A = this chain, B = another copy of it.
Amino acid sequence: MELSIGIDIGGTNSPFGVVSAEGEVLAKGSIKTRNYKDPELFATDLAKEIKNALSAIKGDFTILGIGIGAPNGNHHQGTIEFAPNLPWKGVINLIALFQNHFKEPIFVTNDANAATIGEFIFGKAKGLKDFMVVTLGTGVGSGFVSNGELVYGHDSFAGELGHTIIVHDGRDCACGRKGCLETYASVTGLLRTAQIMLAKSSQKSMLRQIPTDQLSGKDIGDSAAKGDKLALEILDYTAKRLAFSLANAVAITSPEAIFLFGGMARAGDLLLGPLKRYFEDYLLYLYRGKVRIEISALTEQNAAVLGASALVWNEINKK
């Protein structure tokens, strides 16, 4: 039996899984990233946990490799570079750290690319050659597959759709610029839109019963599902901004399909309905009716680990 290990390094926890070629998780575990100021110690303890988990798997198996998804993960260098949400500063050489504990090949990429490869190997994008994945969580990430290969770009930082500017002089973004897609289409962006609309409009809304600083994406989705007009308008506005950006991206890579993942995608058809309408409106005539938009097949619980493990299967498939 051939297996791969997927590790998802996050700001709080770093879960891992031992995954079969079919995407079955045979063993799993997690360590607390926050407890480790020293990345070397982190790697040592994580390796120990992984080896424990492996020893519990019954039957013969071979580990083909280790895939690591991490914020600002650089595929070409095998490093994490200046990730603001991790306890380690500067450039961390992940491959070097884990090679002290494993002899198998190690692959690194960022979270959104891992989600993309996960969709490619285990999800709805199986067999597609040209598609994109957009992750709509606290931020907006993306991954592009063209000619059957993930587009890493020259420095491994391709796929920053969340930081394409969609509104001149628009909302302040954490990146230091203004008007990035992320400030509109992330869950955080959705909440900013909600605040503005609640202030501007005098419409009745269930959302007014929730203190502004406790308002969540789920509240907006739930209210919209119950027919709350203002909540529907908030989703509509968000869908329109996202549609604009997706239509522009289509003109560059001409994908067959776009898969949405993450918190925002939980709104399902409440988001997809207006999104598809605006998307077709914004598209250049050449692409109209040709590009489908779907919610990802992966669940948020296991996507990161599956995606990281999929890196290994993807590299092996290339050979």
Q: Which residues of A contact B (CB under 8 A)?
A: 129-130, 142, 144, 146-147, 149, 151-161, 163-165, 167-168, 175-177, 244, 247-249, 251-256, 282, 284-287, 290-291
Instruction: List 12 other contacts, CB 8 Å, given A144-B253, A154-B255.
Output: A146-B146, A153-B253, A154-B256, A155-B286, A155-B287, A159-B252, A160-B252, A163-B251, A164-B248, A164-B252, A177-B282, A253-B253
Q: A153-B130, A157-B287, A163-B284 are in contact. Are A253 and B255 (CB under 8 A)?
A: no
Complex interface: chain B residues within 8 A of A155 (CB): 254, 286-287, 290
Report which of B152, B154, B253 forms a contact with A151, defined as CB distance below 8 A: B253
A168 to chain B, nearest CB (A): 7
Q: How many copies does the complex hold?
A: 2
Main secondary structure of the interface of A (DSSP, over half): loop
Cα(A255)–Cα(B154), bound, Å: 5
Contacting pair A254 B158 (CB below 8 A): yes
Contacting pair A164 B290 (CB below 8 A): no
Contacting pair B286 A157 (CB below 8 A): yes
Complex interface: chain B residues within 8 A of A142 (CB): 252
